[in-house]
């Protein structure tokens, strides 16, 4: 199926999910299982807003809600968000909401797989945002070992990215981002999203812009329109996300 038709079909299939989830989570017993589906809903809506509607502000609002839902599930239910890779913190950064981004820098699960690749991708972003350069050295140490594992060899580009941040070297960051973009399909296998968007590459590129490195990869997989740091005046939210449970 053509990727445009694929996205149109997904949009039509997902667009009523929000209402259905609201009905399901009226029962507390359903909340753990159904709330996370709002993350996926908002990601698809954001993809449609970005690539079909050319509506950047709308996409940012969807990415904000997707990342906020994931943060809520981690905070309230200890769902393994920090261990799961860079996607959620990427959407937080792409939303340009400073409060959400700050909360993501502090996000932890009760138990974290600190030697795993998912944790080190996310934690490296946290450490760069917080200027924790000594802790970033640990991420680099772990990832140097991990990218030698055959199933992770598509992640090698992360090393020049992280070393570029460490040494304040924009050229090295750019080299790493281009490597990540070239191996995008090895890491991102969602049947729809990966046809349009490289979430992890875009996340690291957005991190570069946040830190003052204005890098344009000139790729539709990392839309330059999303890179400048421009918080919205207003972010819509789900009321329940501000509750403790």
Does residue 54 belong to any structural domain of this protein?
Answer: yes
- Rounded CA gap, 108 and 132, in Å? 16
* Predicted local confidence at residue 69, as pLDDT: 97
Provide the number of structural domains found in the chain. Answer: 1
Does residue 29 belong to any structural domain of this protein?
Answer: yes
Does residue 137 belong to any structural domain of this protein?
Answer: yes
Does residue 242 belong to any structural domain of this protein?
Answer: no
List the domain range (segments joined by +) for residue 129: 3-231
Average pLDDT per 10 consecutive residues for the chain, totaling 245 residues: 94 93 94 96 97 97 98 95 95 98 95 93 98 97 96 96 98 98 94 96 98 98 98 94 68
* Predicted local confidence at residue 244, as pLDDT: 54
The total of other beta-carbon atoms located within 10 Å of residue 95's CB is 26
The total of other beta-carbon atoms located within 10 Å of residue 179's CB is 18
Is residue 187 a contact partner of residue 203, using CB atoms and an 8 Å limit? no
* Predicted local confidence at residue 1, as pLDDT: 81
Does residue 136 belong to any structural domain of this protein?
Answer: yes
Name every residue whose Cβ is closer than 8 Å to that of residue 41 and which is 6 or more positions away in sequence.
14, 17, 18, 21
* Predicted local confidence at residue 242, as pLDDT: 80
Does residue 79 belong to any structural domain of this protein?
Answer: yes
């Amino acid at each position: 199926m053509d990727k445009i038709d694929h996205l149109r079909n997904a949009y039509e299939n997902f667009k009523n999910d929000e209402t259905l989830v609201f009905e399901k989570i009226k029962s507390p017993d359903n909340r753990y299982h159904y709330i996370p589906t709002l993350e996926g809903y908002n990601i698809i809506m954001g993809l449609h807003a970005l690539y079909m509607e050319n509506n950047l502000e709308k996409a940012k609002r969807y990415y904000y809600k997707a990342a906020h839902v994931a943060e809520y599930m981690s905070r309230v239910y200890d769902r393994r968000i920090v261990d799961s890779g860079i996607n959620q913190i990427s959407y937080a950064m792409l939303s340009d909401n400073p409060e959400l981004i700050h909360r993501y820098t502090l996000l932890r699960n009760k138990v974290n797989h600190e030697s795993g690749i998912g944790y080190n991708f996310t934690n490296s972003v946290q450490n760069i945002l917080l200027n924790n350069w000594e802790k970033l050295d640990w991420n680099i140490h772990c990832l140097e070992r991990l990218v030698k594992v055959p199933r992770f060899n598509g992640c090698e580009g992360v090393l020049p990215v992280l070393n570029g941040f460490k040494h304040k070297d924009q050229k090295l960051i750019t080299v790493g981002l281009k490597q990540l973009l070239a191996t995008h399909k090895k890491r991102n296998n969602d049947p729809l999203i990966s046809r349009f968007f490289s979430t992890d590459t875009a996340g690291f590129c957005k991190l570069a812009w946040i830190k003052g490195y204005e890098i344009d990869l000139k790729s539709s997989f990392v839309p330059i329109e999303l890179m400048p740091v421009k918080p919205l005046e207003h972010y819509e939210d789900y009321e329940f996300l501000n509750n403790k449970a």
